[in-house]
Structure 1
Amino acid sequence: MIEPSTHTTRRTLSDEELIRLFLTSRDNAHFERLYKRYVVKVHQKCLTLIKDPVLAQDLTQEVFYKLHQKLDTFRQSARFSTWLYSITYNMCMDQVRISGRNIINLHGDMTEFEDASEDLMLDEGELSIDMLRSALTKLKLDERAMLYMKYLDNKSIRDIAQIFEINESAVKMRLMRCREKLRKKYFQSLHFN
């Protein structure tokens, strides 16, 4: 089971300070602090995307192994948490492509999507969560992922652009197309049931 650290210090070092200390000293204690800071979040993201506890655990460890190997490529222009999210997301997507599994299953009551129903143009009558789930499954993996990041993870346009390695204008355009496609699929599901 992955557990967060309960160890605290007098002054909490920023992610960037820990990275710099690790890269200059190669002292794994600094990397371990990053690991303890983010392991639960990475595991939860893997579990949300993959829906398999054992595989999510394995992917979490692979994410941190890859992070350890590539930490020197971190660009200070991006936030570390966004960069780590990108690594996590890409590793999960790679797993999906290899296995052909259907992921990005939205859990819970999806209140974030309910709150976004006006932006998604789903405000015609009462929102049907089952129909929304059905409509989402009919979208391509990357389309679902982009909507998921925007509306469930509350990622900014800038963060999504960094994760997908495209510019912000392209993210806005893709989100607009994803919303329109979701809207069409939603109303098709709604009217044919």
Structure 2
Amino acid sequence: MEDMDIIRAYRERKHALCFRLLYERYASRIYSKAITMLHKQSEAEDATQEIFTKVFLSLDKFEGQSKFSTWVYSITYNFCIDKIRKDKRSRALFADEVAEPPDTIEEVPDEALMHMQLNELRYVLSQLTPPERTLLLMKYKDGVKIKALADLLGKNESAVKMQLKRTKEKAKRIHDRQFTTQSSNS
């Protein structure tokens, strides 16, 4: 069954089987995104349950203008970002975003990120703020298109492209500072 068929059946009958089908189809995706963003298993598990509650409470509002998976992804992303923002420890990370250096670096090609060693990439991602890390993971790991990112983030495509450009530049600076100086000193 397609997602919309299950949703229609759920709306008509409020049958638990429909709920279970959607839960089985999307719970692991939601959990995966939550653990990527929240970094704690217990928080990701709680988030998955809360997100599914939101999804089913809002299911009547889903009009099918986008794919159901995109809609669920948007709810997941927004929930996790809200959770991060509420977390006192994360407030310091958001304060760092205010002092962004000017755009003096040329466009960083996507290949620069793709050629980083896995341990290097993990380090670089750990140094980015949660929104920056999530943006890169959505674009390059999950393959989310710019238009879908713009819809998810509530921004226009130009703003998303600029945010992506700045984040890639920052990632490259972090990588070069950490790994280029180490290898040249060796």
Shorter chain as denominator, the TM-score bin is: 0.7 to 0.9
Amino acid corresponding to residue 178 of structure 1 in structure 2: T
In the other structure, the counterpart of 2:179 is 190
What is the TM-score normalised by the length of structure 2?
A: 0.76
Q: How does 1:34-49 map to 2 (within 5 A)?
A: 34-49=22-37
In the other structure, the counterpart of 2:169 is 180
Which 10-residue stretch deviates more, 158-167 or 133-142? 133-142
Q: Does structure 1 retain, via aligned residues, the 8 Å contact 2:37–2:134?
A: no
Q: Does structure 2 retain, via aligned residues, the 8 Å contact 1:120–1:179?
A: no
Q: Does structure 2 retain, via aligned residues, the 8 Å contact 1:160–1:171?
A: yes
- RMSD over aligned CA atoms reads 2.4
Which 10-residue stretch deviates more, 127-136 or 69-78? 127-136
Amino acid corresponding to residue 152 of structure 1 in structure 2: K
Shift of 1:188: 1.9
Aligned residues: 165
Question: % of aligned pairs identical?
Answer: 36
Structure 1: 5+ residue runs without aligned partners?
A: 1-12, 103-116
Q: How does 1:1-193 map to 2 (within 5 A)?
A: 13-101=1-89, 118-121=109-112, 127-193=116-182
Structure 2: 5+ residue runs without aligned partners?
A: 91-107
What is the TM-score normalised by the length of structure 1?
A: 0.73
Q: Does structure 2 retain, via aligned residues, the 8 Å contact 1:120–1:183?
A: no
- Larger helix percent: 2
Partners in 2 of 1:21 and 1:161 — Cα distance?
Answer: 31
Any idea what SS the aligned residue of 1:155 has? Answer: coil
